[in-house]
Chain A
Amino acid sequence: NAGVTQTPKFRILKIGQSMTLQCTQDMNHNYMYWYRQDPGMGLKLIYYSVGAGITDKGEVPNGYNVSRSTTEDFPLRLELAAPSQTSVYFCASSSKRDRVNEKLFFGSGTQLSVL
């Protein structure tokens, strides 16, 4: 059972470079999320999607872009990387039914350093 798959696991970027973090899930979940976790902190929501073609901003969207062309994939794009974007990035998904008690299924995370 693959669940939520994130690639790459580690990446080092130079300031000003761009990259895309990939996320795919095979559980046919409608809801997908991108969180970032700074050292010693909790998770902050960057963007989320309630289905293909629909995305919305979270708490910390600046410097990022997302797209949702299929149910399975939810890539996160970093344009003009900055040191403040050094973080661990988690992709997660949940199904549509029973919204309040729906737990999130997380990917294994991407550790990104911008130098």
Chain B
Amino acid sequence: AQKITQTQPGMFVQEKEAVTLDCTYDTSDPSYGLFWYKQPSSGEMIFLIYQGSYDQQNATEGRYSLNFQKARKSANLVISASQLGDSAMYFCAMREGSGNTPLVFGKGTRLSVIA
């Protein structure tokens, strides 16, 4: 079963607008971490933001924020004031806390920012 689901293969957003990229996850472990990575056309993987399962507040990093809804098992990435440089693939990922578990990635969402 898919542990990380990203249902939006592609998204378009107007420059300077906000956009939400969806991510749902599946785990029975009470301790887990959720990550978002950006992959521009150059191919490198860039860490954006992290949310822990026990964190009381939603994570924020500059223009990135994470809308964490634990009961719904969703961890959506919100990008405010989109810029042309935000055009990229975005991956949601999860690590479960018990045992030696590596990071598991979703299939990604391709975001295109339009001028």
Contact = CB atoms under 8 A, between A and B. Distances in A.
Interface residues of A, number: 25
Given A100-B31, A103-B47, A43 B52 contact: no
25 contacts: A40-B9, A40-B107, A41-B107, A41-B108, A42-B4, A42-B105, A43-B91, A43-B105, A45-B102, A88-B43, A92-B45, A99-B95, A99-B97, A100-B33, A100-B52, A100-B95, A100-B97, A103-B35, A104-B45, A104-B47, A104-B103, A106-B44, A108-B43, A108-B44, A111-B43
A44 B108 CA distance: 12
B100 interface: yes
Interface size class of B (residues with CB under 8 A): 20 to 34
A27 to B, nearest CB: 14
Interface of B: 4, 6, 9, 31-33, 35, 43-45, 47, 50, 52-53, 91, 95-97, 100, 102-108
Given A33-B103, A106-B44, 6 more contacts: A33-B102, A42-B6, A45-B104, A90-B45, A99-B97, A103-B50
A101 B52 contact: yes
A75 interface: no
Contacts of A109: 43-44
A58 B106 CA distance: 15
B43 A42 contact: no
A100 B44 CA distance: 22
Nearest to A90: B45
B80 to A, nearest CB: 22
